[in-house]
């Protein structure tokens, strides 16, 4: 018959019920990766839905914005204000997929700095503001980079509206910050409760 110590070793836990250190690290990595990925999905979704609303309010066909961006990025061409996006679905889908990938990668990068490097830093308004500002500036720079790639002749920002772009990025940054700080609170609570604490 095995001793209690042997049973604890066999179950993967120490005699105090704590998870092994490598398992704790894997769990923490899972938490921050999950929240960083979710933050990217949240940001991409917010921007997509926001510009769907802008298209409708502006009297343009639904999905006109991703059609314009897809045409500019993949074909180096602009589209008319009354263009039918349903005739350009491959461009819409292609841009939407790329849009999601970029947001995902960006959120992983920002999320790692908040969740992996400083996982035990407590939630404070300043921490949230710092993350939100970093996200907003990064999103603005990414759109400027997109405008530079497609060229100034297409005039993406004037056609979409500088104010709409900034507002979309503000809302996306707020949503992404909320998800990242949610993960930070989980990791901070785990660090306070000790290695054997709940996640």
Answer yes or no: is 47 within a domain: yes
Model confidence at 7, in pLDDT bands (50, 70, 90)?
Answer: very low
Question: In terms of Cα–Cα distance, which of 27, 32, 43 is closest to 115?
Answer: 32
- Averaged pLDDT of the chain: 80
CA dist 111 and 154 (Å) reads 33
The 10 Å Cβ neighbour count of residue 156 is 21
Encode pLDDT of 159-186 as tens digits.
999 999 999 999 999 999 998 888 777 7
Q: Domain containing 73: what range? A: 22-192
What are φ and ψ of residue 175, in 5° steps? -65, -45
2 within a domain of the structure (yes/no): no
| Helix, strand and coil percent figures for the chain, each rounded to 5 | 75, 0, 25
For the segment 101-134, what is each residue's pLDDT rounded down to a tens digit? 999 989 888 877 665 555 555 567 777 888 899 8
Task: Answer yes or no: is 13 within a domain.
Answer: no
The confidence band for 10, taking pLDDT boundaries of 50, 70 and 90, is: very low
Q: Tell whether 176 is covered by a domain.
A: yes
Model confidence over 39-78: pLDDT tens digits? 999 999 999 999 999 999 999 999 999 999 999 999 999 9
In a domain, 9, yes or no: no
Q: Name the pTM for this structure.
A: 0.78
| Residue 25 pLDDT > 60 | no
How far apart are alpha carbons 85 and 88 in whole angstroms? Answer: 5
Domain count, the chain: 1
> Would you say residue 174 lies in a domain?
yes
Q: What is the DSSP string of 82-128?
A: T--GGGGHHHHHHHHHHHHHHHHHHHHHHHIIIIISSTTPPP-HHHH
Q: Look at the block and give the residue holding tokens 């939630």.
A: 123
Domain-embedded: residue 6: no
Cα atoms in the 13 Å half-sphere on the side-chain side of 131: 32
With respect to residue 7, please indicate whether it lies within any of the assigned structural domains.
no
């Amino acid at each position: 018959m095995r001793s209690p110590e042997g049973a604890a070793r066999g179950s993967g836990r120490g005699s105090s019920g704590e998870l092994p250190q490598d398992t704790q690290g894997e769990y923490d990595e899972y938490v921050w990766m999950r929240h960083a990925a979710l933050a990217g999905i949240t940001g991409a979704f917010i921007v997509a839905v926001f510009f769907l609303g802008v298209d409708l309010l502006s009297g343009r066909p639904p999905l006109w914005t991703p059609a314009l961006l897809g045409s500019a990025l993949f074909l180096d061409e602009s589209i008319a204000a009354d263009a039918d996006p349903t005739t350009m679905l491959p461009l819409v889908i292609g841009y939407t997929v790329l849009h999601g990938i970029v947001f995902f990668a960006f959120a992983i990068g920002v999320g790692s700095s908040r969740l992996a490097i400083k996982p035990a830093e407590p939630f404070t308004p300043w921490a949230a503001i710092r993350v939100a500002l970093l996200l907003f500036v990064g999103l603005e720079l990414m759109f400027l980079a997109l405008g530079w790639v497609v060229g100034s002749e297409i005039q993406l920002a004037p056609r979409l509206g500088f104010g709409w772009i900034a507002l979309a990025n503000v809302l996306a940054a707020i949503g992404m910050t909320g998800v990242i700080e949610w993960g930070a609170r989980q990791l901070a609570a785990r660090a306070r409760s000790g290695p054997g604490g709940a996640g």
